[in-house]
């Protein structure tokens, strides 16, 4: 693989004037008009640029005129963002002109061309291969966890830049202890970057228990996430409801007694208190 072009911090500041060099050895490829275009330096069939998306990279194209007369050549790029130090040149006879240029690495890999054209319409094209080297990031989330009567559903999302094979652990706790404890296991899927998938775990949820479910997912590269959800009213809800009914009955009985006492408070006779079935407000049983 030919060497990649050099990275530069500033695009236009590094673009210098074209360099003219007297030919010592004729280049191997020449256009019909006696001139040629090729990557400068070591013999390369094409330009290769690699870096993070948005990075400005620098290289040099060599224009060689082997003929006895000057040649006017223009430069442009097709399929990529390229800035030349000079895009219109006159090539003196028997000289080589080196033209620096910069290109910006796109978000995805691409193949472009540097196009050189003379005033007679003769055109030469030099391939420019651009490769986006994205940093490897492992990130994974578990979302939208829900507990149903016969299963637990959830979604996994790959938030990183590399494919992941997730591992899942499931745990559920009720009011009286552990109800479910599934050790981490590898899921039969590969999650591509940016992909979201909806999955489910079979489980018969207890009808009369308050349950907290916890899902933990991990993957290579240190990816990890956890999500919890609680569901169910539990048996304590039924007990509380029964206690509320008893308390309401006791309160009604106390009001009835108070009314009887107020109605007959000036009489000397001893009045029987109204009977109150069930437990009183104090909790004593009659």
pLDDT digits (tens, 9 = 90+) for 189-230: 999 999 999 999 999 988 888 999 999 999 999 999 999 999
Q: Are residues 187 and 97 in the same domain?
A: no
Q: Are residues 168 and 82 in the same domain?
A: no
Q: Are residues 16 and 127 in the same domain?
A: yes
- Using the predicted structure, report yes or no on whether residue 54 has a pLDDT greater than 70: yes
- Count of structural domains, the chain: 3
CATH number of the domain where residue 205 is located? 2.60.40.10
Domain boundaries, position 124: 6-132
pLDDT score for 209? 86
Q: Are residues 204 and 266 in the same domain?
A: no
pLDDT score for 31? 55
- Using the predicted structure, report yes or no on whether residue 30 has a pLDDT greater than 70: no
- Using the predicted structure, report yes or no on whether residue 238 has a pLDDT greater than 50: no
Structure confidence at residue 33 as a pLDDT band (50, 70, 90) = low
* All residues at 6 or more sequence positions from 136 whose CB lies less than 8 Å from its CB, including other chains: 160, 161, 162, 221
Please state, for a pLDDT cut of 70, what percent of the chain lies above it. 69
- Using the predicted structure, report yes or no on whether residue 259 has a pLDDT greater than 90: no
- Joined together, the tokens standing for residue 63 give 């224009």
Which comes out higher in pLDDT, residue 36 or 245? 36
**Can you list the positions of beta strands (E) in the chain?**
6-7, 19-22, 35-39, 47-51, 56-65, 71-78, 82-84, 88-91, 95-104, 110-118, 123-132, 140-147, 151-158, 167-174, 177-186, 196-202, 211-219, 223-231
Average pLDDT on 25-44 reads: 71
- Using the predicted structure, report yes or no on whether residue 2 has a pLDDT greater than 80: no
């Amino acid at each position: 693989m030919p060497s990649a072009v050099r990275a530069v911090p500033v695009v236009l500041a590094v673009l210098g004037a074209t360099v003219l060099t007297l030919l010592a050895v004729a280049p191997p490829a020449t256009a019909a008009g006696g001139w040629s275009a090729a990557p400068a330096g070591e013999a390369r069939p094409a330009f290769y640029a690699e870096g993070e998306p948005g990075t400005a990279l620098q290289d040099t194209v060599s224009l060689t005129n082997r003929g006895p007369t000057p040649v006017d050549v223009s430069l442009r790029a097709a399929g990529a963002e390229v800035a030349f130090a000079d895009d219109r040149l006159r090539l003196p006879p028997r000289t080589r002109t080196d033209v620096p240029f910069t290109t910006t690495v796109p978000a995805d890999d691409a193949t472009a061309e540097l196009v050189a054209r003379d005033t007679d319409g003769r055109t030469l094209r030099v391939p420019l291969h651009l490769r986006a080297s994205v940093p490897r990031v492992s990130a994974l989330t578990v979302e939208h966890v829900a507990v149903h009567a016969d299963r637990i559903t959830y979604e996994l999302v790959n938030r990183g830049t590399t494919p992941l094979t997730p591992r899942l652990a499931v745990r559920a706790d009720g009011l009286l202890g552990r109800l479910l404890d599934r050790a981490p296991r590898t899921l039969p899927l590969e999650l591509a970057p940016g992909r979201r998938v909806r999955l489910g775990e079979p489980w018969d949820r207890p009808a009369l228990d308050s349950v907290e479910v916890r899902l933990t997912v991990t993957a290579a590269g240190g990816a990890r996430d956890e999500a919890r959800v609680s569901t169910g009213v539990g048996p304590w809800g039924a007990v509380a409801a029964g206690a509320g009914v008893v308390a309401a009955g006791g309160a009604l009985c106390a009001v009835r007694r108070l009314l009887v006492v107020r109605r007959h408070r000036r009489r000397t006779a001893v009045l029987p208190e109204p009977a109150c079935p069930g437990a009183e407000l104090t909790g004593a049983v009659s």
